[in-house]
Amino acid sequence: MLRFLRNFKYYAWQEVRRGCSAVAPSDRSDVHLVLPTVWPSELTKRIRPLPVPDLIEKFSCDAPGGQFATISEYLRCDPRPDAVLLPDEIDLHRKMSLDDLNSYMHAKDAFKEPHRKNRIFSHVLVVAGADSARSYPFRQRPDFLYLCDCLRPGAALVLTRSRKRRTGALLFLSQDVDSQLSTIYSHMHYVDDVLPLAMLKKSLLWLLRDLSPELWHFYEPSSPVSCIVQEVAHEAMIPMGNPRYILQYTRTVKTSRELRALRRANASAADSMAEVIAQHYQIPQELAASFDYKCHMRHARPDVTKMSCGLDGNGLWQMDAGCQYGGYEGGLARCWPSSGRFTPPQKMIYGALLDMRRDLCSLIQYAGSEGAVRTPLELHAAYLILLARHLRELRVLPKGVGSAAETVEMARRFNCSPVVVSHVGLGKRDTSRRLLDYPFAPGNVVSLRLSISIPDDCCQAYPEFRGILCQLGDTLHIRDDYSVELLTAACPSEPQDIEVCLPASRTRSHRVRNDGDQSGPCDTRQLQSHGGDN
């Protein structure tokens, strides 16, 4: 046996030595085998690569989370990707944005001088990216990401359009960029050239002298890009326009690719939450971790910073969560009983939310035909009126007390959603106060967050209603005929559908079924015995 082992060891070492074509010399006599040496190529000598620890340290600080530099790279692991930020789609976004800026200038010029012919404008649009924050995950700004697929912090994008409608795009990065990196980054981010941020001022002055355009930039005092643009505007003596609300309105109308990504994001969030509801959890951390895992399994990225979940004092799980796919957000809110059944007061309040969602969707459908509701702000006011009506029916608000405005103001105190209606896109709430005053349009994707919270000290409410919180949130798509598509329909919202999914309800129904199976034959035998006695 020992001789066999020695022979096996000897022949094994011979085979290993024969397999190594090049063996590095060794100064140690006790080393009998050395791994083959890979000789450095001329390219390796020229680029002088950094060691692995230095690379990890560098890219974990400069890159967003030490991961990818574009949204498209996150979708490479998906076997069936629905990528949005492709070159032709980004080119369409830039054209739509510059067209809207041009339309605004035409309308402004026509208002000042009605009898003057339409002038031809040239534009220079400067969009600043987000700065990196070490304590938070890096999130690129929606207005920047809409025009350039770049996740590098501290970047700036310059879009130009001449009077002959020739467009250009320049990307400025906070890091030093040589000619080779500039070529690589230009193809990666679909721009004409990539330059260091130190050349932004010089480039803007050259563009303003050559094109004499309209300068557009949203000024932020804390942004270094805004400081540079303001200095350039003072030196060139050109007024700086604010494109924030115009670009926000441009992003509200979604293209077909954007709608596919939004459907994918909302379907992933709805399916993940439906599976979370169907499982049993003890603590909110388990629920959040399960939702995170299920979103990742669907190739979506959960939005951890905006996820909230917990179990309230009345035995209701509350969850408001979402995820993003291809940079586009999807989310919803649900509540469900931990016991497996809604109590009658909980079911009444939750049913009021379902009725309000149905009524609000009906109001949106009539927005295109001169209906009562045409803007998100008007829809918010309609929600408060409906909320006051349902609270009166539940005897939470007294009837016939005060005017209609006072009743609506009293109903506002029972709503715990800070933003009821908001546009959804590259941001979860990609909206502003002024944008909510613009009419609904086909292609809009909006989020509805409805809730009823009755405080414990609400004396006018019945004791059974006190302390109950119910919420219902969904994402809606307005079609071309103003009909509403519920993008989060995969997650159950009806009380009976939720109760069927709950594990406690399934256990109870299984127990009742087993009891019925055991009692059925026993009752039959008792009837047969009584019949035999007779």
The residue that leads in pLDDT, 303 or 29, is 303
Residue extent(s) of CATH 3.40.350.10 domains in the chain = 87-251
pLDDT digits (tens, 9 = 90+) for 2-12: 455 455 555 55
- Which DSSP symbol is given to 50? P
Non-local (6+) Cβ contacts of 32 within 8 A are 13
Query: What is the average per-residue pLDDT within 346-370?
Result: 92
- Residue 14 to residue 8: CA distance in whole angstroms: 10
Q: What is the pLDDT of residue 161?
A: 93
pLDDT at 523 over 50: no
> In this structure, are residues 172 and 158 in contact, taking their beta carbons and an 8 Å threshold?
yes
The rounded percent of the chain whose pLDDT value lies above 90 is 48
Helices within 429-502 (DSSP H only): 495-501
First to last CA, the chain: 86
> In this structure, are residues 295 and 274 in contact, taking their beta carbons and an 8 Å threshold?
no
Q: What are phi and psi of 181, to 5 degrees?
A: -65, -35
Superfamily of domain 256-501: Creatinase/methionine aminopeptidase superfamily (3.90.230.10)
The residue that leads in pLDDT, 350 or 306, is 350
Q: What are phi and psi of 145, to 5 degrees?
A: -65, -30
Which residue type, as a one-letter code, is found at position 431? T
Selection from 453, 448, 380, 381 nearest residue 413 by Cα? 453
Q: What is the pLDDT of residue 512?
A: 43
* Other CB atoms within 10 Å distance of the CB of residue 442: 14
- Reduced to 3 states (helix: H, G, I; strand: E, B; else coil), residue 172 is strand
Which H or E run contains 357?
helix 344-365
Residue extent(s) of CATH 3.90.230.10 domains in the chain = 256-501
- Residue 97 to residue 161: CA distance in whole angstroms: 11
- Which DSSP symbol is given to 73? G
pLDDT at 534 over 60: no
CATH number for domain 87-251, candidates 3.40.350.10, 2.60.40.10, 3.40.630.20, 3.20.20.140: 3.40.350.10
Q: What is the pLDDT of residue 55?
A: 56
pLDDT digits (tens, 9 = 90+) for 101-142: 999 998 888 887 777 777 788 999 999 998 876 546 678 899
- Which DSSP symbol is given to 349? H
pLDDT digits (tens, 9 = 90+) for 142-194: 999 999 999 888 899 999 999 888 999 999 998 888 888 888 899 999 999 99
Selection from 284, 273, 331, 282 nearest residue 306 by Cα? 331
- Residue 478 to residue 373: CA distance in whole angstroms: 14
Indicate the pLDDT class of residue 79, thresholds 50, 70 and 90: confident
Question: Please, what is the average pLDDT of the chain?
Answer: 82
pLDDT digits (tens, 9 = 90+) for 436-453: 899 999 999 999 999 999
pTM beyond 0.85, yes or no:
no
* b/e map 388-418, b = 16+ CB within 10 Å: bbbbbebebbeeeeeeeeebbebbeebbebe
Instruction: Record the tokens describing residue 415, joined without a space.
Output: 């709503």
pLDDT digits (tens, 9 = 90+) for 378-426: 999 999 999 999 998 888 888 766 677 888 888 888 998 888 999 998 8
Helices (H) and strands (E) in the chain, counts: 16, 14
> In this structure, are residues 480 and 367 in contact, taking their beta carbons and an 8 Å threshold?
no
Instruction: Record the tokens describing residue 162, joined without a space.
Output: 């001449």
pLDDT digits (tens, 9 = 90+) for 26-68: 444 444 444 455 556 666 666 666 666 565 555 544 444 446 7
Nearest 5 degrees, angle CA 276-CA 282-CA 288?
Answer: 45
pLDDT at 513 over 50: no
Instruction: Record the tokens describing residue 330, joined without a space.
Output: 């999807």
Which residue type, as a one-letter code, is found at position 310? G
Non-local (6+) Cβ contacts of 138 within 8 A are 64, 65, 130, 132, 151, 153
Indicate the pLDDT class of residue 19, thresholds 50, 70 and 90: very low
